[in-house]
């Protein structure tokens, strides 16, 4: 009987070399695929961050009180924007009966103070669109649907008028620090870093910052790729400002105007 011939050492070495080459090529392909996947993940994360910023700002601006942008808590500029969000009672307004230095009386269809659901800030606005942001110290029930809002003494005021409305609001501002490439959100609770590694946060007011009907937003985020090179991704959007009634008398005889100018109490 013939015996099977055994593989020589040379054949075994050649087989191992071929196997090593195949495994090396396969591993290189896997490594390249993983690097590509990681690179794509970085792009997706950067784009997602930009979309979330635009969506958050879009949602809040569309809720801006009386369709106006203001200069508190940050002044409007190419890298900052401020507006007022109606809060409490679904954005209900209350007719002001009288004012003093640190308080004002208003009438409301509510049986208790809790039903008013006032936040920490209130907007006092006259028939000409002049507004004053008041920090709310407390609210007292005077009876017969009349309530008193107490606030600190103000260094700023608005022109004297007998036609005032009061709203529960929250002043919100977004501002960009180019030195630290950080986008901040500011409200009554303080200033909070919203996004880092922002190469650009640019706002365009249409037709202008004084009487804007919409704003154009351009944001750019940056990150380091696998070669430690700085890569940027950009995102643009347009936000239409809500339109307020102008010239339509309410049931209380007060004409609601679009916000023209707002100052803070302090």
Q: Is residue 39 part of a domain?
A: no
Q: Is residue 19 part of a domain?
A: no
Q: Is residue 69 part of a domain?
A: yes
pTM exceeds 0.85: no
Residue range of the domain that includes 157: 54-264
Q: Is residue 42 part of a domain?
A: no
Which segments within 25-181 are labelled E, that is strand?
64-70, 80-86, 93-99, 103-107, 121-126, 130-135, 138-143, 146-150, 164-177
Q: Is residue 25 part of a domain?
A: no
Phi, psi for 36 (deg, rounded to 5): -65, -40
Output DSSP code: residue 194.
E
Q: Is residue 24 part of a domain?
A: no
Q: Is residue 251 part of a domain?
A: yes
149's tokens: 């809002």
- Give Cα separations from 155 to 47, 53, 96, 133 (angstroms): 44, 35, 20, 12
Q: Is residue 43 part of a domain?
A: no
How many domains are contained in the chain? 1
pLDDT digits (tens, 9 = 90+) for 94-131: 999 999 889 999 999 888 898 888 888 999 988 888 88
pLDDT digits (tens, 9 = 90+) for 217-266: 999 998 887 778 888 889 999 988 876 554 444 444 444 556 778 888 87
């Amino acid at each position: 009987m013939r015996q099977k011939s055994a593989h020589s050492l040379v054949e075994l070495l050649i087989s191992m070399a071929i196997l090593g080459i195949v495994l090396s090529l396969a591993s290189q392909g896997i490594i390249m695929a993983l690097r590509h996947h990681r690179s794509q993940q970085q792009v997706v994360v950067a784009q997602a961050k930009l979309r979330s910023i635009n969506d958050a700002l879009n949602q809040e601006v569309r809720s801006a009180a009386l369709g106006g942008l203001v200069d508190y808590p940050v002044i409007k500029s190419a890298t900052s924007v401020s507006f007022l969000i109606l809060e409490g009672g679904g954005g209900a307004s209350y007719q002001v009966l009288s004012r003093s230095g640190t308080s004002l009386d208003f009438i409301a269809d509510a049986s208790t103070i809790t039903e008013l659901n006032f936040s920490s800030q209130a907007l006092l606005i006259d028939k000409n669109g002049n507004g004053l942001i008041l920090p709310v110290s407390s609210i007292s029930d005077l009876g017969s649907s009349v309530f008193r809002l107490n606030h600190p003494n103000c260094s700023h005021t608005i022109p004297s008028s007998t036609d005032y409305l009061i709203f529960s609001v929250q002043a919100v501002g977004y501002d960009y620090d180019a030195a630290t490439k950080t986008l901040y959100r500011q409200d009554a609770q303080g200033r909070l870093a919203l996004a880092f590694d922002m190469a650009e946060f640019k706002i365009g007011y249409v037709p202008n910052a004084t009487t804007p009907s919409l704003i154009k937003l351009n944001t750019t985020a940056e990150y380091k790729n696998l070669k430690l090179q700085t890569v940027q991704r950009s995102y643009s959007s347009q936000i239409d400002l809500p339109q307020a009634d102008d010239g339509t008398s309410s049931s209380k005889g007060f004409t609601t105007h679009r916000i023209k100018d707002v100052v803070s109490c302090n």
